[in-house]
Amino acid sequence: MLGIIIGVASVIAMLALGEGSKRSMREEMSKMGTNMIMVMPNFMRRGGVSLGSSSSNAMKMVDVIALRNEATAVSAVSPEIRASGQIIYSNQNTQSTIYGVSEEYLGIKKLTVKSGRVFSAQEVKSMAKVCLLGQTVIENLFGAGTDPLGLTIRIKNLPFLIVGVLEEKGESGMGQDQDDLIIAPYTTVQRRLAAIDYINGIYASAVSEEKSSKAMAEVEEILRRTHKLKDSDENNFRIMSQSELMATMTSITDIMTYLLGAIAGISLLVGGIGIMNIMFVSVTERTREIGLRMSVGGRSQDILKQFLVESIILSIIGGLLGIILGYLIAKGAGTLMDTKAYVQTQAVILAFIVCFAIGVFFGWYPARKAANLNPIDALRYE
Amino acid sequence: MNKTIIEIHGLKKDYHIGEVTVHALRGIDMSIKKGEFVAVMGVSGSGKSTMLNILGCLDIPTKGDYFLDGVDIKSLSKDELAKLRNQKLGFVFQSYNLLPRTTALENVELPLYYNPRIKSKERKELALYALEAVGLTDRMHHMPNQLSGGQQQRVAIARSLVNDPVMILADEPTGNLDTHTSFEIMELFQDLNERGRTIIYVTHEPDIARFATRNVVFRDGLIQRENMVTERTLAREVLKTLPIENIEEFDA
ipTM of the complex: 0.89
Q: What is the mean pLDDT of chain A?
A: 85
Beta-carbon count within 10 A of B216 CB: 23
- Chain B residues with beta carbon closer than 8 angstroms to that of A299: 78-79, 82-83, 114
In a domain, B124, yes or no: yes
Closest-CA residue of A relative to B81 is: A297
Q: CB A375 to CB B58 under 8 A?
A: yes
A252: closest CA of chain B, how far (Å): 54
Q: CA-to-CA distance for A266 and A260, rounded, in angstroms?
A: 10
* Cβ atoms B66, B8 nearer than 8 A: yes
Supply the range of the domain harboring residue B183.
35-46+78-241
pLDDT at B11 over 60: yes
Instruction: Give the closest of A295, A297, A375 to B115, CB-based.
Output: A297
The proportion of chain A whose per-residue pLDDT surpasses 70, expressed as a percent, equals 94
Q: CB B110 to CB A293 under 8 A?
A: yes
SS3 A232: coil
Q: CB B111 to CB A288 under 8 A?
A: no
Confidence at residue B210, expressed as pLDDT on a 0 to 100 scale: 92
In a domain, B251, yes or no: no
Q: CA-to-CA distance for A179 and A182, rounded, in angstroms?
A: 9
Give the residue numbers in A contacting B (CB under 8 Å), as ranges.
Answer: 288-289, 291-302, 375-376, 379
Non-local (6+) Cβ contacts of B164 within 8 A are: none
Non-local (6+) Cβ contacts of A251 within 8 A are: none
A380: closest CA of chain B, how far (Å): 10
* Cβ atoms A95, A141 nearer than 8 A: no
* Cβ atoms B46, B220 nearer than 8 A: yes
Q: CB B97 to CB A297 under 8 A?
A: no
Residue at A371: amino acid letter: A
Residue A273 CA from chain centroid, whole number: 36
Q: CA-to-CA distance for B42 and B223, rounded, in angstroms?
A: 9
B63-68 and A152-155 beta bridge pairing: unpaired
Residue of A288, A289, A296 best to disrupt the B interface, most CBs of B under 10 A: A296
Q: CA-to-CA distance for B229 and B79, rounded, in angstroms?
A: 38
Confidence tier at A52 by pLDDT (50, 70, 90): low
In a domain, B54, yes or no: no
In a domain, B83, yes or no: yes
In a domain, B60, yes or no: no
B59: closest CA of chain A, how far (Å): 8
Q: CB B85 to CB A297 under 8 A?
A: yes
A377: closest CA of chain B, how far (Å): 10
Confidence at residue B252, expressed as pLDDT on a 0 to 100 scale: 44
Closest-CA residue of B relative to A382 is: B95
In a domain, B226, yes or no: yes
Lowest mean pLDDT: which of A22-31, A262-271, B189-198, B228-237? A22-31
Q: CB B97 to CB A301 under 8 A?
A: no
Non-local (6+) Cβ contacts of A320 within 8 A are: none
Q: CA-to-CA distance for B169 and B197, rounded, in angstroms?
A: 11
Q: CA-to-CA distance for B181 and B153, rounded, in angstroms?
A: 10
Confidence at residue B244, expressed as pLDDT on a 0 to 100 scale: 65
B102 touches chain A (CB under 8 A): no
Confidence tier at A300 by pLDDT (50, 70, 90): very high
Which has more pLDDT, A292 or A45?
A292
Q: CB B86 to CB A296 under 8 A?
A: yes
Q: CA-to-CA distance for A250 and B154, rounded, in angstroms?
A: 70
Average pLDDT over residues B77-96: 92
Q: CB B114 to CB A288 under 8 A?
A: no
Q: CA-to-CA distance for A196 and A190, rounded, in angstroms?
A: 6
Average pLDDT over residues A65-82: 88
For residue A121, the surrounding DSSP H or E stretch is helix A121-125
B165 touches chain A (CB under 8 A): no
Confidence tier at A10 by pLDDT (50, 70, 90): confident
In a domain, B147, yes or no: yes
In a domain, B172, yes or no: yes
What is the crossing angle of helices A300-337 and A287-295, to 10°?
140
Q: CB A296 to CB B79 under 8 A?
A: no
Count of structural domains within chain B:
1
B167-171 and B198-203 beta bridge pairing: parallel
Instruction: Give the closest of A288, A299, A302 to B97, CB-based.
Output: A288
Closest-CA residue of B relative to A286 is: B99
Distances A365 to A208, A318, A342, A379, B3 between C-alpha atoms, Å? 58, 20, 37, 21, 46
Among the listed residues B77, B14, B25, the one whose alpha carbon sits nearest the alpha carbon of residue B51? B25
Confidence at residue B25, expressed as pLDDT on a 0 to 100 scale: 93
Beta-carbon count within 10 A of A277 CB: 13
Q: CB B59 to CB A379 under 8 A?
A: no
pLDDT at A287 over 90: yes
pLDDT at A44 over 70: no
Q: What is the 3-state secondary structure (H, E, C) of B3-67?
A: CEEEEEEEEEEEEEECCEEEEEEEEEEEEEECCCEEEEECCCCCCHHHHHHHHCCCCCCCEEEEE
- Chain B residues with beta carbon closer than 8 angstroms to that of A302: 114
Lowest mean pLDDT: which of A51-55, A192-196, B40-44? A51-55
Average pLDDT over residues A77-87: 89
- Chain B residues with beta carbon closer than 8 angstroms to that of A310: none
CATH of the domain at B106: 3.40.50.300
Q: What is the 3-state secondary structure (H, E, C) of B101-147?
A: CCCHHHHHHHHHHCCCCCCHHHHHHHHHHHHHHHCCHHHCCCCHHHC
* Cβ atoms B181, B148 nearer than 8 A: yes
- Chain B residues with beta carbon closer than 8 angstroms to that of A379: 93, 97
Q: What is the mean pLDDT of chain B?
A: 90
pTM of the complete model: 0.70
Non-local (6+) Cβ contacts of A349 within 8 A are: none
B221: closest CA of chain A, how far (Å): 18
